[in-house]
Amino acid sequence: MKRLEITDLTKRYKKKAAPALQEFCYSFENGVYGLLGPNGAGKSTLINLIVGNLVPDTGKILYEGRPILELGSAYRSIIGYMPQQQQLYDGFSIKRFLFYFAALKGLGKEEAAGRIGGLLEVVGLDAYANKKLGTLSGGMKQRVLIAQALLNDPKILILDEPTAGLDPKERMNIRNFVHSISRDKTILLATHVISDIELIAKEMIFLKEGRQLLCGTSEEVINAVREEIWEAEIAREEYEAVSSRYPQNRIIGERDGDILLKIIAEEKPECGAVRPAAVSLEDVYLYLYP
């Protein structure tokens, strides 16, 4: 049985407005799932429906075969949620902040103490337990928020832009940690940054204007667009004309004074030396969101 099954999920914020999410369907097991798309794609709406902050206009969300609206608090108890923006209490220490959220989640003091001690070690913050939140780096704050989401040992963990504003090393550390805990959890990681999920996602889902554009494993989504991604080597003085003719292009380097381009086009471009390109997930993203 799939852990989380979503069928024909639709949500409008105003009756006459276009749906923020339209007829979304997916089945999730354990592992990391990347939820991708630009701002306004529907990622946050989908997340808020899954965590129960919103009620769908139509469609169903089932957890292990039962509607989440029927499960109520029993379902909420197995959810861990790290929102994109969460107000931190700068005067709180890390430990006090986590005890506060443990109380909100209904954990007893003794249970909370055990969980917090273990989580601080897992996220690499045990040496900073008494440090005030207002003094932490961006990466440390993100790790505190992930620890908060894990307090109740959730079966479903939802992370909304968990690496926003972080430097490359901090982003890598967060990615590695998320992957390390995914064996027995269903993790949805919403982002618009391909590198956040490129190496750790079991499957990825691309949304645009509330609709599901493409989904599958890394290999599957790359294969879906492979025949429309080309690599071209052109003389520098030809770039303006080529760019005008094939506006979906990006410079990927140069060779002996010539420019190397990746071009998105249905047919083989007629310019310079052209060959099928080695396609990356970044190319998929640029193809779907020109």
Quick check: 215 pLDDT over 80? yes
Structure confidence at residue 165 (pLDDT): 73
Mean pLDDT value of segment 81-108:
89
Q: Are 45 and 190 in contact (CB under 8 A)?
A: no
| Phi and psi angles of residue 155, each rounded to the nearest 5 degrees, phi first | -85, -25
Confidence of residue 170 (pLDDT cuts 50, 70, 90): confident
Structure confidence at residue 2 (pLDDT): 64
Structure confidence at residue 85 (pLDDT): 67
Question: Domains in the chain, ordered, with CATH?
Answer: 4-223 (3.40.50.300), 224-288 (3.30.70)
Confidence of residue 138 (pLDDT cuts 50, 70, 90): confident
Confidence of residue 198 (pLDDT cuts 50, 70, 90): confident
Mean pLDDT value of segment 61-78:
92
Quick check: 173 pLDDT over 90? no
Nearest to 188 by CA among 217, 165, 156, 210: 156
Confidence of residue 289 (pLDDT cuts 50, 70, 90): very high
Q: Strand 21-28 relative to strand 31-36: parallel, antiparallel, unpaired?
A: unpaired
Mean pLDDT value of segment 270-277:
91
Number of neighbours of residue 22 by Cβ within 10 angstroms: 20
Mean pLDDT value of segment 77-82:
92
What residue has token string 């303006």?
240
Q: Tell me what the pLDDT averaged over the chain comes to.
A: 91
Strand, coil or helix: 216? strand
Q: Which residues contact 219 (CB under 8 A, 6 or more apart)?
A: none
Mean pLDDT value of segment 136-141:
86
More confident: 6 or 121: 6
Quick check: 143 pLDDT over 90? no
Q: Is 105 exposed, middle or buried (0-12, 13-18, 19+ CB in 10 A)?
A: middle
